[in-house]
Amino acid sequence: MFPASVFRLDNGLTFIHQQIPTTPVVVADVWVRAGATLEQEPWFGMAHFLEHMIFKGTATLPPGAFDYNIENRGGVSNAATSYDYAHYSLTTAAPDLTETLPHLGDLLLNAAIPEDEFIRERDVVLEEIRSYHDDPDWVGFQALLESIYPLHPYGRSVLGTERELMQQSPAAMRQFHRTYYQPENMTVVIVGGITQDLALNLVDSSFKNFAEPLDSPQLAKISQPTITDIRRQQMYLPRLEQARLLMAWTAPGVAQLRAGYGLNLLSVILSEGRTSRLVRDLREELQIVQGICSNFSLQRESSLFTITAWLEPEDLQQVESLICAHLENLQQTQISQAELARAQRLLCNDYAFSTETPNQLTGLYGYYNTVAQAELAVTYPQQIQSFAPQELQKLAKQYLSPKNYAVTILKPC
């Protein structure tokens, strides 16, 4: 049973509330379906840049006033942008929400995007881009994404490029904002020491004066990419002490959540803990990798399964072959019940540990409601526990082919 209440306000905004009477804290999260996937050329990088500009004030709220108000009350605010969403978070003492949430609503609905602040903040974003380009792991992963998604927004950096940012204007950003920061694209989640009636009235009054929406540009429908061979690229990077091996497979998006949960289990079986298959074989016994991990990233349109190893350059070919051998074994030999039970236990415990605080709950509900629907957030443990070895073997055959994957190799110069 879903422990929170879900409301659809008259203007189309979704509001989710869960009261926790024992905490004096309230967390308010606002999730907007306005991520990088909605950017059309020349708007690349706009969603992330707008996240920065949201805090630069409105006609009635000067730049910096929101942050000052929050910090002066001991609260915390944060924001992030991904391919599928933009996310704004506010944590405060329960009595202070009535003074702080209206300001957050004002920023999100009525962002002024002044030209002088635009130019100043663009320099901040450009510096952020440059700092990421100094990180070899980010550079390698971005190159991997570009090889997998050459035509899809998932293949672009959420940050955009220096050239793309220099082409943008305050007027274009205001257009993007008015197009997508609309109530039907927004979910407000409030969890903590506040009653439902008070929270509902507060959201209703803080998120009501939306600007007249602009027509959404028609985005070309791009089918999920398929990898039908081995896509290989090699890069030589300065200041790199160890080689990197990055391997990736595409997987279904949220429309097929069941497959995603199964791939989550396979990722744990392969590399979670010292007794997992890849860690035990390649790191503990053969000692030919410094570290190895796998990860399943659930995305709205096309998810991603990755395996990353840190190793010496001379061991790259052997390690890639051994990883492929492990994937073949997953497809040919059924996983034992004990190994499956361990993976299920780890994931269910991780889920339990990630739902302890109001901050974690708002993130969970908001994310699920943005990419799918909120109620699915609490079905995760039951879904994980319901898998049998045969179903995981089928998923391994379907999505983790040792003959069809993308690989990016990073070597020191």
Per CATH, the homologous superfamily of domain 5-206 is: Metalloenzyme, LuxS/M16 peptidase-like (3.30.830.10)
Span 311-339, average pLDDT: 97
**42 upstream amide cis, omega within 30 of 0:** yes
Q: What is the pTM of this model?
A: 0.94
Amino acid at 138: W
398: left (phi over 0), alpha (psi -120 to 50) or beta: alpha
Q: Could you please state the CATH topology (level 3) that the domain comprising 230-412 is classified under.
A: Cytochrome Bc1 Complex; Chain A, domain 1 (3.30.830)
Whole-angstrom CA distances from 127 to 120, 124, 134, 234 are 11, 5, 11, 26
Amino acid at 232: R
Residue from 282, 285, 257 nearest 270 by CA: 282
**Domain chopping of the chain, boundaries:** 5-206, 230-412
Residue from 320, 315, 321 nearest 287 by CA: 315
Residue from 246, 247, 249 nearest 227 by CA: 249
Same fold yes or no, 5-206 and 230-412: yes
The β-bridge partners of 297 are 304
| End-to-end CA gap in the chain | 55
| pLDDT tens figures, 156-206 | 999 999 999 999 999 999 999 999 999 999 999 999 999 999 999 999 999
| pLDDT tens figures, 105-151 | 999 999 999 999 999 999 999 999 999 999 999 999 999 999 999 98
Provide the 8-state DSSP code for 185. Answer: G
**213 upstream amide cis, omega within 30 of 0:** no
